[in-house]
Amino acid sequence: MQPGEIAHIAATTGNHWRKIFNVYAKLIAAYKQQCVEPLGYPRWQDYRDQQLLQQHSDEALIFSPPQVKRQHGSVRLVLAKGYAGTLGLNDELHWLDTDFAVHAASGIVVCPYFDYRQLSDIKIQRLVHILTGEL
């Protein structure tokens, strides 16, 4: 993405993408805080507007099914149980609770969709604990 595109997309496409970008930035901020890593910005909103999904960032949104082989050094999330079911992973998922599952062979984590109602601040903290191995 180019600088300013997140704000442009959020402004022109409505609430849906704004929620996705906000939840994504909040997750990154919480994850970095848990890992005692500086976010580099005073607020998650600043991170969203200046760093999230930019060419020099470490994040991506991928709209194709993930490869099921383990990719070391990366965190891969599959958003939503329903989508995870379409990937044929259900038999191999270890459900930690009603919201989160882990595919042990690949390290993929299934989590709620990036929406405030589905992935609330409390659930973001739960996801961070899963990602950092503090189940």
Which tens digit of pLDDT belongs to each residue from 12-55?
987 899 999 999 999 999 999 999 899 999 999 999 999 999 99
Judge whether residue 73 has pLDDT over 80: no
pLDDT at 135: 63
Rounded to an integer, what distance in angstroms lies between the CA atom of residue 102 and that of residue 100?
7
Structure tokens belonging to residue 82: 């329903």
pLDDT at 110: 96
Q: Give the residues across from 102 on adjacent strands.
A: 94, 109
- Read off the pLDDT band of 70 (50, 70, 90): confident
Ramachandran angles phi, psi of 101, nearest 5°: -140, 160
pLDDT at 119: 97
Domain ranges of the chain: 1-61, 62-123
Residue 74's CB: how many other CB atoms inside 10 A? Answer: 9
Nearest to 39 by CA among 49, 29, 52: 29
For residue 15, with 0-12 CB atoms within 10 Å meaning exposed, 13-18 middle and 19 or more buried, which class applies?
Answer: exposed
Residue 60's CB: how many other CB atoms inside 10 A? Answer: 8
Q: What percent of the chain has pLDDT over 70?
A: 99
Q: CA 11: distance to chain centroid? A: 21
pLDDT at 23: 97
- Read off the pLDDT band of 72 (50, 70, 90): confident
Structure tokens belonging to residue 14: 């409505």
